Structure 1
């Protein structure tokens, strides 16, 4: 299946889904950004004008120019995200896996703090009406409900959320305009001079960048969710979204400018610009928008994990495709891990103001890694080298400034997200290392050398028949090669006689929706190797796919699949098919360096609790034989034993 040809065009339905899925995180930042910037400081005109100016130029340079205009071009057949970007350039430089792992793990860690942060900020508005209310149980309930509805797929969620987000952005627009009309002088903040003045001349001004950064944290999720909506829908809807966001920030600035000389004292500028009669409705809409903010990160996390599996960076966990819609994906194990992480964050921080202190540090690292990868993408795309260098320099300077300011958050809770990111990066790094060790030690043999032996075995009636069609899953990329362990399994472990030996290899392509196969008939009606080339978004249902291949071959008279048992053959009954999947285990005959031993123990430990190879390939359990084979990495040292004879 090729990329949807309309993904570069906008459509009414696509725009609605884009509003519902993509802009939640960035769209709810007005709930907390201005409050985080002002903090406990006395409100001054310089602080207000500088803050609004910084927000406007951050949204323009970081979100609009870097992500919406430039980075969305780097799509892998319609798929986005940092790992899709890495896939486009990995052939040119393998070392880029390092920034890819750092970026992916920090983005996933950010996905654990975004739902608690957004939902808490919205729900805490209730304290204006009910000062004594305990918001924590409400926040936990809402987050739990959000993770339960993931099972139904993002298309259902997107359709339901789209209209809500449209109302949310229109509310931002109206609230902001009402304040700007009362205090139009705030529009002076469009001049970047005010932002520059705040950062350079205001005491401690530079460190406010950590809070300013909160206005653009959702930009990376916007790129990750590209596959769910398409570039045309994102670019078109962003014009509306940015206008609403900017006007609301200017409106909050106008309200703050009128209250110069005061302290915020726990007040939220976002709710202060609401008329009292609208407050309850406003809080309800804000809460729904906050739930949707979490959705953007969750959808992006599912996409990220599916790509990480394909790149051998994550265990082969179960993936579910809830609909035939392009880009729809649900990862049960990740869904509940994220849920547990979110609940832990709520219980640890309790208040959104404490979460603000931790929020943004991890995602700054993701953005820096995206800048490194995208700069390399431009470099190999034959873009003018001066342009590439300027892009790299300008954005590295901007993002390193944000990082420096955000590092202040480390001791205030930022360490929590960095610790989560470190744990995720460790799993990715160890999984990649284990796969490289395994591949290095897998021995392949020439299949052609064994054809005569396989034919002899097939005709040897002294050995009981194991199956009519015996199918081995193989990792050998070359069409005339096979693992030596498979040959050992056929001839030595327990001789497996079959009428036809099939060897099946699955290659996962960089494109999302490829569905090709190639057949290599090494010996007619005896030895056949089938290679499937499947896109990284295609569910691997090898049982079903192989049946289709066999049907096509029968129609073309390339193979005879009727049973070779005389009584069944006369009735033209099809022979049985049996799969053999070799699962490796760590042999006791190893003398490993301590690090490699740790890596392999970790690998097999995780493998024991995730999907088996048979489940990953979508094989029917009734026709599968799982065979355990030792992975001998290095034989023990020469053993010297002395025989004792009887006197």
Structure 2
């Protein structure tokens, strides 16, 4: 089992002070939605459906057991035990299945798997496996349809998370705004005796107060997202803490004032009575009841932002008991005030002398309550990005110690636009609540299905345990899905629109990426072609280093063979660089680079595979070129050691560099600036380009470039370190000289074209893919390539 804390946390995060600090931030970020759900659970129910005290008691029993079964037992006690090395969410479960059941459909061929997935996941709980589980694993791995189904579930769950992030802010903020409208309307009734005047004032307040106020709050909410999770947590946690204390005290007051026996109504007998007397109108009420568990999925999805232990303890000891008291108090009030106006809204259950305090707190907390869904959508989309299931967008890491805390500007503004559209378009809590309930329960049902596979294939429990989990929780959630579908024509249809849009984007990007990779795989040329055939083409070698970026980890990409066929020349040193996303959250620095050699040593052609997890922040690193050259220098030094065979894979002698301590002082030595002095450096070993660069004018731009320029040299020969062979020293010197001569970057630009006669679906998916590829905010490779050194080679890929 993975550590309770994020693997990249600093050491001091394990102290009690840090744990308390995280727990405080969790209240505002993770549990905001759960804490503010009382604003709209009863409020989204139709008044005419709450016809008697018995119905209220039955619904309260459903609310209690929904919180207990889904939020407490399923998520807090079971699902939170499954984390992908500190990360949670739908794609975290999918990545675990990809590694443990070989069901991945991400663009990666067998050679890539053999080269990059050589290390085993040590977090598997046990290695035991009975015959039935083995048959299940083999059946799932054998049938391709199961792979597509699991990927569809992962994408569907991600779309539901995005849908909740759109709908929940609109629902919570609009419900609080209607509370303001009701408060102002009550004040107007005190000053106007005429019923006609009261009706005019109420209609004016209803028309001009809730929606504009909600829009202003929504804009402010999404604007502050750029501050980052940590700052938002500090800002929002006090608000939610005061809100929880307030509704908890008021709930206890209502219990003792209106109906102290409401506590006995949690009995499952009341749920049984509800089912026995059920009809269509009563069954629809369950679509609003499920909103009490809104935010439970965010507990798991936001796992990368905080520690598992803090999330679990905070929910069990604080959130759960306060919510039960709050819902009990509201049910007690409603059961005794069925004749009052708007009796089902939380604001009406507040004592009159503190109602204005409630209005202020509800406005603030409703905005905060949406934070959990927004941060969850950021986490899910970041995972989709790394696994090539979402178009390239800019990801900003807002914390240097907790890499799971991110902000995605483009997604943030799109969520804001959709939320404002929902608020202005519907202007109705019931319709927005119907769509939100369907999104929440569908996301939970996806988690249940994936968790049942995790239990069987990752935890390796008996198949009966997996089936029991699926049946128990799946039956409850399927009942809620049926209730939400009855409201499909009353607002839930909007979720289908969001689903179609987001699923189209994800599927088209995944489809286009896979087809593009398959084309490159089918049209690659062998390394022997570059080594054996190229001399016959009269190819000349020019000074410098050529970086070739390709998705392939074996062979030569077709675009480079196309380039040298038309322009027969390439650099003195050639490095084929591949970035490979791994189905893990993080790849350690010492295991990130795999280096290999293509052909004989005299050709000086190398391959570098840069591995990264779906939560690694590699795009903001600007020193990849230096790291790759340093890794190649280490590779050259490793080749002279006798234990190389234990570190070599079957393909092109790929070696994991960065983890051999015996090479200290026996590879390239970086020199950050010109003032650095290394003992034992022979000045004749440094290329004359170094001296020429020091005579350049000291403009601001050139000085900035010099600061980033890292030069390499050979270490001093010491008696305590292994003796460097003459051939190794010569090859390292040639690498240094090539670096000082300059670098060029070759990048293939493959343009997908659909064959004539292809069906409409294929054409549409490729059209969407080309649109997002052309308008992507991030470059296709992680390195910040200077434009003057970039060589783009275009090719037409007909699929």
TM-score, normalization by structure 1? 0.90
Partner of 1:215: 292
Cα distance, 1:148–1:569 mapped onto 2, change above 3 Å: closer
1:558 to partner: Cα distance: 6.3
Partner of 2:82: 74
CA contact (8 A) 2:330 2:346 kept: yes
Q: 1:609 aligns with which of 772, 775, 779?
A: 775
1:600 to partner: Cα distance: 2.0
Cα distance, 1:520–1:353 mapped onto 2, change above 3 Å: same
Partner of 1:640: none
The separation in 2 between residues aligned to 1:625 and 1:206, in whole angstroms, is 63
Partner of 1:366: 443
Partner of 1:642: none
Cα distance, 1:375–1:138 mapped onto 2, change above 3 Å: same
Counterpart mapping for 1:13-412 below 5 A: 13-37=21-45, 39-41=47-49, 43-90=51-98, 91-92=102-103, 93=140, 94-95=147-148, 96-131=150-185, 132=202, 133=205, 134-182=209-257, 183-201=259-277, 203=279, 204-239=281-316, 240-259=318-337, 262-326=338-402, 327-380=404-457, 381-412=459-490
Residues 1:529 and 2:604 aligned together? no
The separation in 2 between residues aligned to 1:549 and 1:300, in whole angstroms, is 34
Write out per-residue CA displacement over residues 501-525 of structure 1, whole angstroms, 9 at most, x where no aligned residue: 1111111122222131122133547
Counterpart mapping for 1:424-443 below 5 A: 424-442=502-520, 443=523
Write out per-residue CA displacement over residues 478-535 of structure 1, whole angstroms, 9 at most, x where no aligned residue: 4xx222222222x123334312111111111222221311221335472111111112
CA RMSD, Structure 1 to Structure 2 (Å): 2.9
Write out per-residue CA displacement over residues 248-295 of structure 1, whole angstroms, 9 at most, x where no aligned residue: 000111112222xx3453345421232223222222222221112211
Q: 2:531 aligns with which of 451, 461, 465?
A: 451
CA contact (8 A) 2:539 2:569 kept: no
The separation in 2 between residues aligned to 1:588 and 1:196, in whole angstroms, is 57
Counterpart mapping for 1:517-556 below 5 A: 517-522=593-598, 523-524=600-601, 526-541=604-619, 543-551=622-630, 553-554=632-633
1:13 to partner: Cα distance: 0.7
1:196 to partner: Cα distance: 2.0
Segments of 5+ residues of structure 1 without an aligned counterpart are 634-647
Please, which moves more after superposition, 559-568 or 19-28? Answer: 559-568
CA contact (8 A) 1:540 1:618 kept: no
1:236 to partner: Cα distance: 0.5
What secondary structure is seen at the aligned counterpart in 1 of 2:741? coil
Q: 1:502 aligns with which of 549, 566, 575?
A: 575
Please, which moves more after superposition, 360-369 or 597-606? Answer: 597-606
CA contact (8 A) 2:577 2:607 kept: yes
Write out per-residue CA displacement over residues 165-187 of structure 1, whole angstroms, 9 at most, x where no aligned residue: 11111112101111112221111
Cα distance, 1:623–1:293 mapped onto 2, change above 3 Å: farther
1:125 to partner: Cα distance: 1.3
1:330 to partner: Cα distance: 1.2
CA contact (8 A) 2:50 2:56 kept: no
The separation in 1 between residues aligned to 2:489 and 2:684, in whole angstroms, is 71
1:539 to partner: Cα distance: 2.5
Segments of 5+ residues of structure 2 without an aligned counterpart are 1-5, 104-139, 141-146, 186-201, 638-665, 671-682, 693-736
The separation in 2 between residues aligned to 1:35 and 1:407, in whole angstroms, is 19
What secondary structure is seen at the aligned counterpart in 2 of 1:359? helix
1:627 to partner: Cα distance: 2.5
The separation in 1 between residues aligned to 2:782 and 2:49, in whole angstroms, is 55
What secondary structure is seen at the aligned counterpart in 1 of 2:388? coil
1:402 to partner: Cα distance: 0.2
The separation in 2 between residues aligned to 1:434 and 1:449, in whole angstroms, is 28
The separation in 1 between residues aligned to 2:536 and 2:617, in whole angstroms, is 37
Cα distance, 1:23–1:612 mapped onto 2, change above 3 Å: closer
Please, which moves more after superposition, 101-110 or 608-617? Answer: 608-617
| Aligned residues between the structures | 624
Cα distance, 1:83–1:275 mapped onto 2, change above 3 Å: same
Residues 1:470 and 2:546 aligned together? yes
